[in-house]
Chains A and B, each alone.
Chain A
Amino acid sequence: MSPDTILSVDHLSMRFGGIVAVNDLSFTAQHKKITALIGPNGAGKTTVFNCITGFYKPSGGSIRLAPPDGGYFRLERLNDFRISKLAKVARTFQNIRLFPGMTALENLMVAQHNALMRASGFTLLGLLGFPTWRAAERDAIERARSWLDRIGLLDRADDAAGNLPYGDQRRLEIARAMCTEPMLLCLDEPAAGLNARESAALNEMLLSIRNDHGTSILLIEHDMSVVMEISDHIVVLDYGVKIADGAPRAIRDDAKVIAAYLGTGDGEEIAAEGVT
């Protein structure tokens, strides 16, 4: 693995009974870059995500996550929560999975669970009200507050997450994932259901996450205005197989990708969306 690679997927395959959802997939994601995984529905993108984040055990292949300071994690061998806790991989879900009965603030506090558990002395110090615990809690609230401010939900911090409008919920879920201070952020269709303005705001948010936090992003998305705008690198899947891999410009013009997914009819649409 080259030093710039954060995620290396090698010959990944996933079988469900007789169905091969992902077939011998290999690609890499670069450090501090945004990599997009695109393809028609049923291409296996969410399956790949679930393998990377530990919700499925791959049938074959390996997934390596390399932190910048050396060494690597073999994700195909780790449990889902360990991947998040140790390998610092965070994710969002296609169908938003917030904690609807908890406030926005509480959602972000839950994300900081592991750090807070250590600080509370695995509850003991916290129960006794030690000052170290109190300080850690204040810091956690501050971090949550700053994220709420960034996503523009500070005035709704004490509202139930289930009551928030859809676009806000999506952003809250991303903020919650970021509160775990991940190295790799995996987003499953973050722009689904967002209108043009909200998608543009999402782009800004993701770019700032990449630039300011130095978090690498892996993204599944159907909305090409988001994909083409912010991705540094695109991988295209179709029927569980990789059909293209490269920079956005190259992908846009790739004949196979156009045939399978992007389509040829509205050529103007792609040209207009494509920037730089």
Chain B
Amino acid sequence: MTAPAPTPPSATRSAGLAFILKKAVISACVALILFSLMIGIRTLPSENGQLTYTTRFGELAAMVAIVFGGSIVVELLRLWWGPVDRVKLAPPPVQAALDIGGRLIAPALLIFALLVPVIFYQQRYILDLGILVLTYVMLGWGLNVVVGLAGLLDLGYVAFYAVGAYSYALLATTFGLGFWECLPLAGLLAACWGVMLGFPVLRLRGDYLAIVTLAFGEIIRLVIINWQNLTGGPNGISGIPRPTFFGIPLVPGPNGLAAKFGIPFSPTHRIVFLFYLILALALLTNWVTIRLRRLPIGRAWEALREDEVACRALGIDTTTTKLTAFATGALFGGFAGAFFATRQGFISPESFTFQESALVLAIVVLGGMGSQLGVALAALAMIGGFELFRGFDQYRMLVFGIVMVLLMIWRPRGLVGHRAPTVFLEHNRAISSDLVKEGHG
């Protein structure tokens, strides 16, 4: 099955029109059948608890019309642009400019991030959004180690997030330990779980590895829900202490940080502190990842992704390599989880569903696996996009699913189309994603 060659537009334009119409009609008919019952009929509970229904033929007609029109548009685009995977967003000169600009984006973004609390000090909403974005950036960078660098398909990353959050919550509420003491412990516990997850899946590849990690993630969630004595079950754990500024609480009153600094107390202080805290944690993740890439362990991760058999032939213990990848990714997931717990003050199993794992994975894949900047941009795009749907929560996941499908069809290697080598003699030439393997686990 070879991809069809792009049809020259002018030669087949007239024949194309009939073809396009035929395709559109077929698509519309299929849409009609698929949507007839699900959209055309709306089931409702009636007064006596029985189920009844109403019709929505207007909406059905509208959807079919949209499919018809959309099909025409897609076919026209395909005629003019050629096969989907050869579509280049920007012509070469723009691409070159983007490459140069690309090197500036990262520092620019960093400076912007540092200044956000300063610029948006009065806008609590923006600060909260920034904290959310940075949390997902950190999760993305953490998962990037496992999926992007080592090529191990982890669909259960949320489990490490949950272990970190619940560890911190339990340690803090049971033993009264502070955030800074609990943070390393939470990370360590998450890393242990990472190793425990890693051991059984060592010999699994590709889809099987993915679904087993998914199963592990679900098991963690179910255990959290059901082990009420330990985790509070569906009610979660509340009263999680807020973080302190290295021991000084951020509260009004003479003991608080504001008093120590001699400035009037404001609740915004805590938000700003949380912002810089997650920024610091994320940057730590980034720094460690970049350094590890240049060390033998990081190179071994990438080699594992490229060709596991060749790694073993070179004397690399792929077992340890995989376990360290899982442990490292889990460590950062755990840190992020601890931060999440302290930021919210309350956690429940609802925050740790498969949808979260899928979201973080989508961020990593969208970013162009292995690329730090790509992951950050992807997190910004995804979470920012989600925010736009505030108020339309139902449609959020639907659109997310559609975006994932479209993304895989259009740009399966993600936004950033290349990999940067970790060592070079003369030229630091980026390697095109076409050559980089995506790993089979």
Contacts and interface: CB of A to CB of B under 8 A. Distances in A.
Physical contact A–B (CB less than 8 Å): yes
B250 interface: no
A113 B37 CA distance: 60
Contacts of B55: none
A109 B423 contact: yes
Chain B, interface residues (CB within 8 Å), range: 35 or more
Interface stretch (B158-166, B199-207, B290-298): B290-298
Contacts of B305: 101
B299 A105 contact: no
A198 interface: no
A154 to B, nearest CB: 8
B62 interface: no
B299 A109 contact: yes
Given A123-B295, A158-B429, A114 B423 contact: no
B303 interface: yes
B435 A106 contact: no
B317 A157 contact: no
A160 B432 contact: yes
B425 interface: yes
A105 B315 contact: no
B177 interface: no
A141 interface: yes
A80 B435 contact: no
B306 A117 contact: no
Interface in B200-230: none
Contacts of B313: 53, 80-81, 84, 90-91, 93, 97, 177
Contacts of A53: 313
Given A113-B299, A120-B296, A126-B296, A101 B423 contact: no
A127 B307 contact: no
Contact of B316 (A113, A159, A177): A113
A39 to B, nearest CB: 23
A106 B426 CA distance: 13
Contacts of A244: none
B7 to A, nearest CB: 30
Nearest to B429: A158
Interface in A123-166: 123, 126-127, 141, 145, 154, 157-160, 162-163
Contact of A114 (B299, B315, B419): B315
Given A85-B317, A99-B310, A158 B295 contact: no
Given A98-B310, A116-B296, A160-B431, A106 B422 contact: yes
Contact of A81 (B292, B296, B318, B424): B318
Contact of A158 (B314, B316, B318, B424): B424
B315 to A, nearest CB: 4
Interface residues of A, number: 43
B421 interface: yes
Interface in B279-297: 288, 291-292, 295-297
A180 B295 contact: no
Interface string B412-441: 000000010111111111011001110000
Contacts of A81: 311-318
B309 interface: yes
B300 interface: yes
Nearest to B430: A160
Contacts of A209: none
A114 B300 CA distance: 10
Nearest to B426: A158
A244 B431 CA distance: 48
A97, A102, A111, A114: residue with the most chain B Cβ atoms closer than 10 Å: A102
A91 B312 CA distance: 10
B305, B309, B421, B429: residue with the most chain A Cβ atoms closer than 10 Å: B421
A77 B409 CA distance: 46
B154 interface: no
A176 interface: yes
A91 B316 CA distance: 13
B288, B310, B432, B436: residue with the most chain A Cβ atoms closer than 10 Å: B310
A110 interface: yes
Given A81-B312, A90-B314, A113-B316, A101 B436 contact: yes
B147 to A, nearest CB: 15
A157 B426 contact: yes
A105 B296 contact: no
Contact of B296 (A84, A101, A117, A141): A117
Given A80-B312, A84-B314, A180-B314, A97 B307 contact: yes
Contacts of B421: 102-103, 105-106, 158
Interface in A69-102: 80-82, 84-85, 90-91, 93, 97-102
A69 to B, nearest CB: 19
A103 B424 contact: yes
A103 B431 contact: yes
B300 A110 contact: yes
Contacts of A141: 423, 425
A102 B426 contact: no
A113 B314 contact: yes
A189 to B, nearest CB: 15
Contact of A113 (B300, B423, B437): B300
B435 A162 contact: yes
A158 B421 CA distance: 8
Contacts of A90: 313-314
A190 to B, nearest CB: 14
Contacts of A145: 425
Nearest to B319: A81
A53, A81, A114, A180: residue with the most chain B Cβ atoms closer than 10 Å: A81
B297 to A, nearest CB: 5
A222 B426 CA distance: 38
Interface in B5-37: none
A177 B313 CA distance: 9
Nearest to B297: A123
A209 to B, nearest CB: 17
Given A81-B312, A160-B432, A99 B292 contact: no
25 contacts: A55-B309, A81-B312, A93-B309, A101-B302, A101-B431, A102-B302, A103-B424, A105-B425, A110-B314, A113-B296, A114-B315, A120-B297, A123-B295, A123-B296, A127-B292, A145-B425, A157-B424, A158-B421, A158-B428, A162-B435, A163-B435, A176-B314, A177-B313, A177-B314, A180-B314
Sorted nearest first, the 4 A-B pairs with minimum C-beta distance are: A101-B436, A84-B315, A85-B315, A99-B306
